[in-house]
Amino acid sequence: MTKDQFFAFAQHITPQKTLSRTIGRIAECENTWVKNTFISQFIKKYQVDMSEAVNSDPLSYRNFNDFFTRAIRSELRPICEQKNGIVCPADGAVSQLGEIEHGTLLQAKGHTYSLTSLLGGDASLSNQFLGGSFATVYLSPKDYHRVHMPLTGKLTKMIHIPGKLFSVNKVTAEQIPSVFARNERTVCIFETEAGPMAVILVGAMIVASIETIWAGQVTPFNKNVVTWDYSELNNINIKKGEEMGRFKLGSTAIVLFGKGAVNWEESIQAETPTKMGMHFGQINEK
Give catalytic residues, as residue numbers. Answer: 91, 148, 251
Query: Of 230, 225, 222, nearest to 189 (Cα)?
Result: 230
Which of 146, 262, 250, 145 lies closest to 198 in space, CA to CA?
A: 262
Strand partners, 96: 136
Beta strands 111-114 and 85-87 are: unpaired
Do residues 27 and 248 touch, judged by C-beta distance below 8 A? yes
The span from the CA of 78 to the CA of 276, in Å, is: 8
Give the closest residue to 143 by CA, choosing from 4, 42, 30, 254: 42
What is the end-to-end Cα distance of the chain in Å, rounded? Answer: 52
- Segment holding 209, helix H or strand E: strand 209-212
- What is the rounded (10 degree) CA torsion for 213, 196, 239, 180? 50
Sign of CA dihedral 75, 236, 140, 169: negative
Distance (Å, rounded) from C-alpha 165 to C-alpha 182?
8
Least Cα distance to 195 among 252, 149, 243, 129 occurs for 129
CA quadruple 270, 274, 279, 284: dihedral positive or negative?
positive
Residues in the chain: 286
